[in-house]
Amino acid sequence: MDHNYDIDREMMIDFIDESMESLSVIPAHFVDLEANPNNLNVIESVFRPIHSLKGNAAYFGLLKLKALAHELESLLDLLRKGRVAVTKAIIDALLAGIDELIEILDRTRIEGSESYNETSYLKALERVLKILDTTGSAASLTTDSQDLWQVSFAILERVTESPLLKGTEEHDQLLELNQLLSALSKKQSDGPSETPAQEVSALSDQNPLTELLNLAGDAGAALGDKERTKRIRALLSNLADLAESDSAKSLLNGASAEFELFITTIGYDVLLTESLKEAADKLNTLQRWVKTETDETDPTPATLIAEPEPETQPPVTTQPAIAEVKPEPSPKPAPAREELATAAPAQERSSAADSDRKEQKEAARTMRVSEEAIDAFLEFVGELIAVDEMFRYIHAELVKSNAGIQITSSLLRVINTFTKLSDDLQRSIMEIRKVSVKGMLQKTQRIVRDVASLQEKQINVTLSGLDTRIDRSLIETLEAPLVHMTRNAADHGIESPETREHNGKPQMGEIQVAMREENDMVVLTVRDDGKGLDLEAIRQKAVKSGVLGEGQQVSNEILVNFIFSSGFSTAQEVTEISGRGVGMDAVKQSVEHAGGTIEVDTVPGAGSLFTIKLPSTVGTQILESFVVKVERERFIVPMERISGSFRPDIKGLSRLPNGNVCVKRKAGILPILSLSGLYCGDFQALTNGILVTIESRISPFALLVDTIIGLQKVVLRTIPWIHTNKFVGAAVMGDGRVSMIVDLTALERYLIDQDLNELFTASNG
């Protein structure tokens, strides 16, 4: 019992994960539909995942999820058939419904059973129901009698499934009414006028595969579930009697078992119809299921369609060629006799196509692996990197001890092979961890749409780099910063249409969100063509907050950096969107905690550009680094921000009034830092060391070390019990000793803080 429970729980988790993945991209489609109301193809791309969700939700007992998905599907169906026009109210209701579906799935994944917020659920459901109820009567939607019945049944089903009627006498009466109307509908379909039910009744009984395909499609749906189920069961039984091989019999047994499972749990879902079509596709390749007149005289395989009836007989309207193993979108007459002559080559082409589809399906097969399992494997890869350095250390020691050239050369070849294999293994496992950024980037369209709608702005969002794939954990790191930056760009950056027009700009603002890979870094940018940051307002706020002295001059880069201070905001009023001074400090902290940087470029009146850079490898971080020596200890300096190294000359050194020493390097003056802080010592002592230049847009500097030992690849290991802002972690070296890894971002923050403290002290001096 417990084992079955674990299996069901695992299946539900897989269902939730897959559903959330498919739903996450739908809001972007709705935003696109609102901008292009005539592009109804967008609806087709979202109709199927919601339809599948509705059917599968019942299997796991997620009835609230099913009910909401059903109403969303009904509204989408009206849009798809052109019975209602795309409006802002409809898009709002659809977006709210998708949000609620995702919320229910997320809560259910944590709780283990269906969990939802009743207030928000009812609100989302009522928004959709209100639109459905105000779309007009069934007569105003269609004039076709069969469509009238379908619309009537849809409305009756929606009322019957209302949560308010569950367990009441009215609910039972509605079910009885449904049955009476269903009987009346079928009775009417037997009249003189030709209906879909009549078409189904004319399905071929000579070719069971053809009839199975039609019953699995739209034609069978018109029969009603009871009659449809009865016919499919009979067809599967008939096919089992006709089966000539064990493979065909096994395939039919599996198809029958799967059909019964769906009928007793979910019902007629798109997955069931696809399963029946796939079974027919495979059965068609195993044998011929109907004999023609040529079977007795011609051994050549004939087509698998029924012989056309004499002209005096009514034409068969639903006879698609079984060689295609797919029902035609519209009824076609039976093919002429001369077409039968080319049926065999057509069947061969179909078999080749079937083979291609099978190969593509096999190639596209995937399997779900927990992130913890991949992380554990990646840790082992990290251990291999450490072992590689140990091998190289042993090789160096052998060379020093004058070991034979033959043994040292052989060992080096083995080490190089080991290095290549471990590098390939690292790249492979990192590729497994990568996911597409498309879903994350498309969320910005929804965010901007909501802000623009609330503030009556016109904003276009352009996305680039949608095909980029990055480590899964980077998605979690970047998602919150992207939300903050995009919302701020739409709220603070982009002006109102009137203001933009007055300033000579197009009324519609532009926000560009881009993702790319650059060397070993992932780069996310958010650019807007709005008013830019108000540097003077930032300066005044900094003075008022006491972090900058009155009249003190600082660079624009440092001014911009103030927006990342906790509680810092220049907004004149607090809105529903922003203005509370929270968000940007959290953005910077999360980015820097992941080993990244955030930069801001702004031009008053022209817009702003926010750039986030993160290491492309996470979890077990493998760093290319400088190994340096300071006094007797070795330290590791990550290569990502090192621009060079040099031995200083006394002529290039100078001392500031506060005692700190600077060095002239190219076109700039760099402050000198040691691991102990700003250098204030003797010039001569500096010439005995080496300065490593560290890049930074805000405050570049030179790091003083005694010796550079060389380049080395190391595995970063976090040490949570070390409370210092100088190191990000440690690494095990080739000789087994541990070396600390320098935190260059922390040193930069220290330098900025020292500059600001000095300015503030001088202004109050």
Exposure string (b/e) for 146-156, b if CB count within 10 Å is 16 or more? Answer: beebbbeebeb
pLDDT reported for residue 380: 80
Give kind and range of the element (H or E) at residue 154.
Answer: helix 145-160
Task: Assess if CATH 3.30.565.10 describes domain 435-615.
Answer: yes
- State the Rg of the chain over Cα: 35
Whole-number Å distance between alpha carbons of 534 and 415 = 57
pLDDT reported for residue 571: 56
List average pLDDT for each run of 10 residues in the chain, which is 765 residues long.
56 84 87 83 82 80 86 85 84 91 90 87 88 59 49 64 70 72 61 42 58 77 78 84 80 78 68 77 78 44 36 37 36 34 40 46 56 76 80 85 85 88 82 86 90 90 92 85 90 91 92 89 93 85 74 75 69 50 70 82 90 76 84 88 88 87 85 88 88 84 91 78 75 84 85 67 53
Architecture category of domain 622-763 in CATH: Roll (2.30)
Assigned fold of 2-135: Four Helix Bundle (Hemerythrin (Met), subunit A) (1.20.120)
Longest distance between any two alpha carbons in the chain, whole Å? 113
Whole-number Å distance between alpha carbons of 664 and 469 = 41
The H helix count followed by the E strand count for the chain is 27, 19
Exposure string (b/e) for 296-334, b if CB count within 10 Å is 16 or more? Answer: eeeeeebbbbbbbeeeeeeebbbbbbbbbbebeeebeeb
pLDDT reported for residue 301: 37
Q: Which residues contact 245 (CB under 8 A, 6 or more apart)?
A: 286, 287
pLDDT reported for residue 499: 92
pLDDT reported for residue 153: 62
741 CB burial (10 A radius; 0-12, 13-18, 19+): buried
Query: What single letter denotes the amino acid at residue 544?
Result: K
Q: Which two tokens stand for residue 710?
A: 């060389």
**Domain boundaries, given as residue ranges, for the chain:** 2-135, 196-361, 371-432, 435-615, 622-763
What is the Cβ-side half-sphere exposure of residue 692, based on CA atoms within 13 angstroms? 27
Instruction: Provide the edge-to-edge strand list for the sheet that holds 459-464.
Output: 459-464, 509-518, 521-528, 607-615, 597-603
Give kind and range of the element (H or E) at residue 486.
Answer: helix 472-488
Same topology, domains 435-615 and 622-763? Answer is no
Overall pTM > 0.85:
no
Give alpha helix (H) positions in 202-324. 208-216, 218-221, 225-242, 246-265, 270-286
Distance from the first to the final alpha carbon of the chain: 78
Q: Are 735 and 749 in contact (CB under 8 A)?
A: no
